[in-house]
């Protein structure tokens, strides 16, 4: 099975879509790094971390994964 993407690089919208496609792996890696940083902040939080800070990290992590799910993004692919 093969797939071919064709872009008209003279069209500004197609040129933008082409750039997004080219950067998709970089975006996936960046999102993975963010997910791992949020995981570390929650899982390995020091005992003396302010409760508000801990809650903020947990809420942000939940929001992050909710957004990934909303857009059907699987960082494992």
Residue 32's pLDDT band, with cuts at 50, 70 and 90, is: very high
Burial class (CB in 10 A: 0-12, 13-18, 19+), 58: middle
Residue 38's pLDDT band, with cuts at 50, 70 and 90, is: very high
Q: Round to the nearest angstrom and report the end-to-end CA distance of the chain.
A: 18
Q: What is the mean pLDDT of residues 30-48?
A: 92
- In angstroms, the CA 49 to CA 71 distance is 32
* pLDDT at residue 76 is higher than 90: no
If DSSP states are collapsed to H, E and C, what string results for 34-63? HHHHHHHHHHCCCCCCCHHHHHHHHHHHHH
pLDDT in tens, 43-68: 998 888 899 999 999 999 999 999 99
Counts for the chain of helices (H) and strands (E), in that order: 3, 0
């Amino acid at each position: 099975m093969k797939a071919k993407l064709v872009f008209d690089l003279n069209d500004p919208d197609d040129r933008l879509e082409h750039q997004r496609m080219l950067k998709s792996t970089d975006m996936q890696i960046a999102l993975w790094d963010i997910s791992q940083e949020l995981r570390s902040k929650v899982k390995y939080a020091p005992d003396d971390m302010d409760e508000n800070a801990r809650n903020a990290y947990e809420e942000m992590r939940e929001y992050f994964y909710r957004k990934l799910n909303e857009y059907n993004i699987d960082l494992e692919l």
